[in-house]
Structure 1
Amino acid sequence: MNTAPNLPPEIMCLITHHLSRQDLVQIVRINKSWFSTCTPLLWRSIQILHPSRRLLFLSEPAQKAFLRHSRHVRSLQTRFFRPLRIFLEATDLCLDTIDILNNNLHSDVIDPCMSADSEALLIALLKKSPHLRTLRIKRSPKVSLPLLKTIATVLPRLQFLSLFCPQGMPWVSPASMKAFLEACSPEMEQLSAWVIVEDDQEEQMDATMWELKDKDDDSSGNSSDNSDNTDNSESSGSGNCTISSRDDSDGGSNHSSQDTPQSSHPALRMLCLSGYFFDHEEDVVVSFLRGCKNLQLIESPDEYRDDKCWITDNFRIRAAIEEATGLTLRRLTILPTGEGPDPNESEITDEDVSQLILDGQSKRSSGRREVWHTLHLEGNPLLGSLTADAILQTCTSGLVWLNVTGCQGIRGHHIQTILTTAVHLRNLDAGCRGDSEATDSRLDVSQILQSNTPWVCRSLRRLNVQICGFARPDLLRTGDLDCAIYKAALKESREVQQQIYRQIASLKYLEELCLGDGGLFPEDFVDVDELSAAMAGATSDVVWEPRMYALKYGNGHQTTCLELTLDSGLDILGALTELRVIDITRMKHRLGVDEMEWMEDHWPNLRTIKGLFSRSPRCPYAAIPSQDDRKRREDLVDWVAMCRPPWSGMDEDEIERYREKRSFHVCEGYESDSSI
């Protein structure tokens, strides 16, 4: 029997790209032909995310194997710096992706900074990788200048760059940051950086130290610009409504002629800066922005300034964006009901907001189009279908930040249409607030399936929406339920869930996924363990009717939500490698140990799971958990208390309580890698 048919190389490649890593390990042993085909795939990506994997990689046999096959390695993802030494020994290395993650696994303290030795290793590896296309560094250097200079000068083909993390934002002088932006790769498509720009005499440097283009001609222009550093933004509206727009004065045109762009970045489509630029925003980014002729999406990810995006606050920055893109960015902020400056003022109506949004996107005399960059409408229950229709007419391009949480009249089908039309959206907050009147703002699964349209906001960073309407036969099991009927219903439910998982998985830049209900709930709450224990001792079964429960207790615990198990298709979300926060508060999920271990392997940036051990309302219509679910939860509690992942949501007191209760040892935690 011929176990290895002679297939054309093209067919073999198609086959191998659909196989798992475990399958490839077996196939390479068949013969030389399969070995030569599968070996490059096995070595294409190296992940060193766990202490055990690091020890294995640092072993002598693994190092020899790596040096033999280093020519195949294209991607490195690691939490540790010591393995970089072996990469430096490879003579034929050709990396196109480097991802340096935080050391946040099994650790109570996340160290966002790297030591001087670690930075030196990283800089050496970057100098050895001139063909690098993707670079993500979630650890911050003590002094950022050497690393920034290396990135700007030795990586001419870089396309995707993400620097540092909010916890370890380095300080950068205005001159250094400006030189870095203007010198970075002209092929750059996406740039994201967390930095603090402020004057620091010790870090000030002359631009010629970058060994870049001569900038002497620009130095005099910049000094004159500083004397005219004014913000001509104006606010219009009354009461709790604020609109930010550009003032068409002659003062801005003079700056336009003086700030000639020092370099061109025609490929840059997405710019995401932390906004911690203070008074240096203009000096750092204005001339850079004028060289970004194809910029489509610009934002500041600072959570504390979400209602005052720095992009739209500064006149000269807006002017530079307008000059480069032909668009004028605007922001509309409507304070929640009752929080306006005048408590006696009449509430703003659905018609008023609708007209404001429609009027804000109009043709101007100069021919440039005004677009909404930010719509912050949270907490206004009177906003409804007219506002939703206005958003749908104006959100197809330009809209980056949309918050309609608590706007009860904006329904689930409106949210679905926004997800399928707003191509530049980065933040969508459309969650409920725990009150029964807001249930219609949930996104029903039938609305997603009937639309049969993919979500186009592929750059979405934060998604806060409740998806409901799933059949959950796993929650309605009874002893007299026919086994065949139950299995058929469970299979159908999970097929539907997998379709929704695929929609979510298409948002590959997602960092925060909020599917739960974090709003206030009026009932008394009790720990799930106490509730389960009481039910276990009950003498008679309690019949659970979901509709009756929903009518009496409002949102309560979501029962028609995603199951969030590997059996239901959770592994489809493995593409969300940037995910940091997942909120499943008051969802009837069935997360267990297998799912937790899968998350460790596939969501390396995960920082927080909200609602993993949520609290349930004390009510007579609660379901009695099955024996399988009760055992699943006990195993999960044991695993969390033993492994102590920082994203579990359990604090030290809870862990100690479970340790005493179950009498087992707790892992010592994550081994420190602060040196290298």
Structure 2
Amino acid sequence: MTETKKLDRWPAHHDPPSLLSLPSEILHIIFSTFSLVELANIVLVSKRSQTLVSPYLWHTLKLDSPATVKRFLSDPVQRALIRNAAFVRSLVLPPELYHVFLPHKGYHQYHPSHFANLQSINLPGKYNPRTGQTDRGSLGQDAEDAVSSLFRQNPSLTKVHIERNVGVESLLRMVSEDLPNLEDLDIEACQFGAWTAKVLLQNLPESIKHVAMIVAENEDDDVDNKMDISPTPKKHPALESLDIDLNSTEHEELILLPFLETCPNLKDYSNYTAQLVYNPRIKSILDKLGIEMRSMYNAVLDHNLDATDKEIAAVLSLSSQWTDIRLQGFRRAGPLTLAALLDHGENVVIVDVEGCSSLTSKDLCTILSKCKHLQEFITLEENEPDPITDPYILGTDLIEVKWATKSLKEWSCSIIVTRSRYDGDEAIDVEEAVKCLVLQRQVYRKLAEQTGLTTLRLNRIEAGLMDEIHYQEHCLEISLISGLEALEKLKDLQELDVSLIDHRIGVPELGWMQKHWPNLRRLNGMFGTCLNPMPGAQDWILLFRPAWLSSYEGY
């Protein structure tokens, strides 16, 4: 007993061991796994803990919500920011805070900003919660100059994402002069034409590793050579990924041919490689670099929606590496197309067959049974589902197929279930009603297998006269009695779309969603496109104000 007590006691001349006494390398590994709340709690322990943890707590400053913006404008947080700004490495800066965080202009130069050690910066547009849209309007000359100054004051910047329109000259100055160590550039929100794209690419720093941009179709602004190009083009040996949507391929050679020659180590030409399939000069360069086409969509066939089943299948056979197959509007896609698509079952991640009216319910089920890594399965046109051309799945087919994938994130497909006929609240045929509920529960259990789902869209309008609104009645009843509780495991669900279907979502269902789907941010079709809204649902929403409240039509 005495010996055990001696072993259990820590020697009096030593301090007891603590987390904060560990070497800094180990602390870095530990603290990098903590949440912001956990880090904030550790800061309160002691002055030493505050000194050690502050760099991790302030590493990322993500000001991406009205509540966060309001909090950062308060005096205590502003004082804390001044003390800890040196620790900030990653900044998400919305337009509402430009006046606080961008450098202010003096008589001859810009004053120093809060930050000098940034490695990553994102300038998002202004989000409108009512519409769900983001305003990507112009920065304006004053803001462009201030942003340029911020870049110069942070020589360690390697990653820049701009979601606002920036003037061509300002953008050129930023990428060629202000960001000498730039590695990752995303300017897909900016609008410019072919010649501007050519100039920007040629003047990128040699450190660049990834570029994402879009060339506007009708903005071939400077083909008359308004902007000068350096007589000695820069080399880009570090570039690994080029994500460029040319929109129109009219100027593809002007933009790409000279630039690709400066990128000997390019490994990935993004989702838009397929649109270059018919340009032998560019395809030859990509072939030499070992880059294969990965994204198949209707531009590959020059948007020829009358392409035959054989023609579509022939294009699918051009690459063995398709991961993203989008066949929107190819109404003649049939068995040959399906067979060619299934040849890529080992690789394909996205299948979009909106408007492919020749594909049957069993065809769609076959896709689900063969594509092992499928993440997005789309048969519905997002904004205007077409009851005549959008394919759908019968519930009876769905429950019989064994899905190959367990990694589905988006389900956008109508599920047809022949519903019972009701007279008031009474089923006309009780046996038929029981069969319908059994089938619905089986369908729900099938959907529940995809625990990673973030988007669930089930809307489909009935075939009929297109100048009238038609509601889908032969669909899942989104109700607890029909099996909704089977979807309890979908903890990542962010969007539910039940537009134009008779969904039966009432007060019990709303309460269940609030409890079991903590990440739900959009619920489309509750009232404005529902034929018979359930009584009490609207009052419940206004009383409990769920997180998705701003997304519904009546808000």
TM range (shorter): 0.5 to 0.7
Q: List per-residue Cα deviations over 1:52-110 (Å, max 9, x = no partner).
A: 54344344433332122122212111222223236974576322221111112357793
Q: Which residue of 2 aligns with 1:356?
A: 314
Q: Which residue of 1 aligns with 2:266?
A: 294
Q: Which residue of 2 aligns with 1:171?
A: 192
Q: Which residue of 1 aligns with 2:371?
A: 418
CA distance in 1, matches of 2:158, 2:44: 33
Q: Which residue of 2 aligns with 1:104?
A: 127
Alignment pair present for 1:206 and 2:228: yes
Q: Which residue of 2 aligns with 1:438?
A: 392
The question of whether the paired residues in 2 share the 8 Å contact of 1:70 and 1:90 is answered with: no
Alignment pair present for 1:264 and 2:178: no
Q: List per-residue Cα deviations over 1:634-664 (Å, max 9, x = no partner).
A: 4478999xx9x5xx363xxx66xxxxxxxxx
The question of whether the paired residues in 2 share the 8 Å contact of 1:526 and 1:616 is answered with: no
Q: Which residue among 225, 238, 245 is the counterpart of 1:273?
A: 245
Q: List per-residue Cα deviations over 1:379-424 (Å, max 9, x = no partner).
A: 548725x6434213246569988536542242235246436179xx
CA distance in 2, matches of 1:191, 1:443: 44
The question of whether the paired residues in 1 share the 8 Å contact of 2:269 and 2:291 is answered with: no
Alignment pair present for 1:181 and 2:201: yes
The question of whether the paired residues in 1 share the 8 Å contact of 2:186 and 2:212 is answered with: yes
The question of whether the paired residues in 2 share the 8 Å contact of 1:564 and 1:570 is answered with: no
> Given the superposition, is the C-alpha separation of residues 613 and 442 from structure 1 closer, same or farther in structure 2, using an over 3 Å criterion?
farther
- What is the deviation of 1:33? 4.3
In the comparison of the two structures, how many residue pairs are matched?
478
CA distance in 1, matches of 2:45, 2:75: 26
Alignment pair present for 1:83 and 2:100: yes
Q: Which residue among 42, 53, 61 is the counterpart of 1:46?
A: 61
CA distance in 1, matches of 2:264, 2:48: 48
Equivalent position SS for 2:392: helix
Q: Which residue of 2 aligns with 1:251?
A: none
The more displaced of 42-51 and 105-114 is 105-114
Q: For structure 2, list consecutive stretches of 5 or more residues without a partner in the other structure.
A: 1-9, 11-15, 105-110, 417-424, 426-442
> Given the superposition, is the C-alpha separation of residues 324 and 519 from structure 1 closer, same or farther in structure 2, using an over 3 Å criterion?
farther
- What is the deviation of 1:135? 1.8
Equivalent position SS for 2:289: helix
Query: Which structure carries more relative contact order (alpha carbon 8 Å, separation 6+)?
Result: 1
Q: Which residue among 407, 412, 418 is the counterpart of 1:465?
A: 412
The question of whether the paired residues in 1 share the 8 Å contact of 2:91 and 2:122 is answered with: yes
> Given the superposition, is the C-alpha separation of residues 370 and 498 from structure 1 closer, same or farther in structure 2, using an over 3 Å criterion?
closer
> Given the superposition, is the C-alpha separation of residues 401 and 451 from structure 1 closer, same or farther in structure 2, using an over 3 Å criterion?
closer
Task: State the TM-score, normalizing by the size of structure 2.
Answer: 0.66
Task: State the TM-score, normalizing by the size of structure 1.
Answer: 0.56
Q: Which residue of 2 aligns with 1:284?
A: 255
The question of whether the paired residues in 2 share the 8 Å contact of 1:593 and 1:635 is answered with: no
Amino acid corresponding to residue 235 of structure 2 in structure 1: S
Q: Which residue among 158, 161, 170 is the counterpart of 2:185?
A: 161
> Given the superposition, is the C-alpha separation of residues 594 and 563 from structure 1 closer, same or farther in structure 2, using an over 3 Å criterion?
closer
Q: Which residue of 1 aligns with 2:540?
A: 632
> Given the superposition, is the C-alpha separation of residues 91 and 465 from structure 1 closer, same or farther in structure 2, using an over 3 Å criterion?
closer
> Given the superposition, is the C-alpha separation of residues 38 and 522 from structure 1 closer, same or farther in structure 2, using an over 3 Å criterion?
farther
The more displaced of 68-77 and 41-50 is 41-50
CA distance in 2, matches of 1:319, 1:635: 62
Q: Which residue of 1 aligns with 2:420?
A: none
CA distance in 1, matches of 2:523, 2:44: 41
> Given the superposition, is the C-alpha separation of residues 264 and 638 from structure 1 closer, same or farther in structure 2, using an over 3 Å criterion?
closer
- What is the deviation of 1:319? 3.8
> Given the superposition, is the C-alpha separation of residues 421 and 52 from structure 1 closer, same or farther in structure 2, using an over 3 Å criterion?
closer
Q: Which residue among 138, 145, 150 is the counterpart of 1:120?
A: 145
> Given the superposition, is the C-alpha separation of residues 495 and 101 from structure 1 closer, same or farther in structure 2, using an over 3 Å criterion?
farther
Equivalent position SS for 1:171: coil
Amino acid corresponding to residue 286 of structure 1 in structure 2: L
Q: Which residue among 327, 330, 333 is the counterpart of 1:376?
A: 327
Q: For structure 1, list consecutive stretches of 5 or more residues without a partner in the other structure.
A: 216-261, 302-308, 341-347, 363-368, 470-477, 479-492, 505-512, 528-549, 575-580, 619-623, 656-676
**Equivalent residues in 2 for 1:128-527 (5 A)?**
128-141=153-166, 143-165=167-189, 169-172=190-193, 174=195, 176-196=196-216, 197-200=219-222, 204-208=226-230, 214-215=232-233, 263-265=235-237, 267-275=239-247, 279-290=250-261, 291=263, 293-300=265-272, 310-312=275-277, 314-325=279-290, 327=292, 331=300, 352=310, 356=314, 360-361=317-318, 376=327, 378=329, 380=331, 383-384=334-335, 387-394=337-344, 403=353, 405-406=356-357, 407-408=359-360, 409-412=362-365, 414-415=367-368, 417-418=370-371, 420=373, 429-431=378-380, 434=387, 438-440=392-394, 451=404, 454=407, 465-466=412-413, 500-502=450-452, 504=454, 515-522=457-464
The question of whether the paired residues in 1 share the 8 Å contact of 2:347 and 2:371 is answered with: no
Equivalent position SS for 1:554: coil
Taking only the aligned residue pairs, the percentage that are identical comes to 15
Alignment pair present for 1:95 and 2:118: yes
CA distance in 2, matches of 1:562, 1:149: 59
Q: Which residue of 1 aligns with 2:3?
A: none
> Given the superposition, is the C-alpha separation of residues 382 and 178 from structure 1 closer, same or farther in structure 2, using an over 3 Å criterion?
closer
The question of whether the paired residues in 2 share the 8 Å contact of 1:79 and 1:102 is answered with: yes
- What is the deviation of 1:29? 1.0
